Amino acid sequence: MDQPLIELEHVGVAFSAQRRVGSGKFWALEDVSLSLRQGERLGIIGRNGAGKSTLLRVIAGILAPDRGHMRRGTLSCQLLSLSVGFTPYLSGRDNAILSGLMIGLRQRDIIARLPAIKAFSELGDFFEQPIATYSSGMLMRLGFSVAIQAEPDVLLIDEVLSVGDVEFQEKSGSALRERMRQGHTVVLVSHDETQVATLCDRLLWVEHGRSVCEGNRDEVFAAYHRGLAVSTAAS
């Protein structure tokens, strides 16, 4: 019952350093282990370039580990990403369907949700116009309205908690928090410590592509702050 949904053991991912023949490898992830259980909200913290986003893409199944093991059942993991597959010359409606299909929804489900998407994005009649005519704010609103429809078993979020103008930021942020509270399994990557603190119950601290410690939120935060203090003092 309490079997982990996803388990990573000493996972590493390498990129080639450059697009040149015979260029060296660069390990974006060196050695990361984690386990994720049903209904957990796991936050991933760490400094810039620690490998957090790469890790999220490994969990999403986009990147395959180059070493180590990953175990996961037949479940859907979806990285929450805005405007996936948007095509400039298509209408907002067609783009919503296309994008919805790409993030794993069935066509009939998206079509059933089109009225909700149209309402949430506040596009009005522009919904039927090619998105090439949209302002960047309109594009973001449509992108978010579609992305939030994804219903994977595990939702992965990389720093996109709010988009658009102040008003829509409020709205999109609260829609997302609502989704997270509904008991979904979530993995969240963020720089914003207060956000992580309010939304997650477990944390994983990643440093230089290695998992430093994983566990209860407060313990990991305490260790993380001690670590930061030490490294600041050392430099």
Partner 1 sequence: MHQHLIELIRFSTYAELRAERERSYLGLIWWVAEPAMMMGAFWLVFDLILKTGGPDYVPFLLVGLTLWQWMKSCITHGGYSIWGNLGLIRQVRIPVLVFPLVQIFADTIKFLYIFALLLVILWLAGFPPNITYLALPVVFVVTLLFSAGGGFLMSAVIPLIPDLRFVIEQILTMVMFLSGVVFALDAVPPPLRDWFALNPVVTLLDATRGILMHGQWPDWIALLKVTLVSLVVLVIGIGVVLRLAPRYPKLAA
Regarding 94 and contact with partner 1 (CB under 8 A), the answer is yes
**Separation between Cα atoms, residue 136 and residue 9, nearest integer Å:** 41
Q: Which of 4, 9, 31, 63 binds partner 1 (CB under 8 A)?
A: 63
Q: Which of 23, 39, 67, 87 binds partner 1 (CB under 8 A)?
A: 87
Q: Going residue by residue from 6 to 25, which x/- string records binding to partner 1, judged by CB under 8 A?
A: ---------xx--x------
Regarding 106 and contact with partner 1 (CB under 8 A), the answer is yes
Q: Which is nearer to partner 1, 1 or 21 (CB)?
A: 21
**CB distance 120 to 172 below 8 Å:** no
Give the residue among 167, 169, 215, 225 at the shortest CA–CA distance from 37. 215
The region that residue 100 occupies, defined by phi over 0 for left and psi between -120 and 50 for alpha, beta otherwise, is: alpha
Stretches 36-44, 74-82, 172-180, 206-214: which one binds partner 1 (CB under 8 A)?
Answer: 74-82
Contact positions vs partner 1 (CB under 8 A): 15-16, 19, 57, 60-64, 77-79, 81, 84-85, 87-90, 94, 97-98, 101-104, 106-107, 130
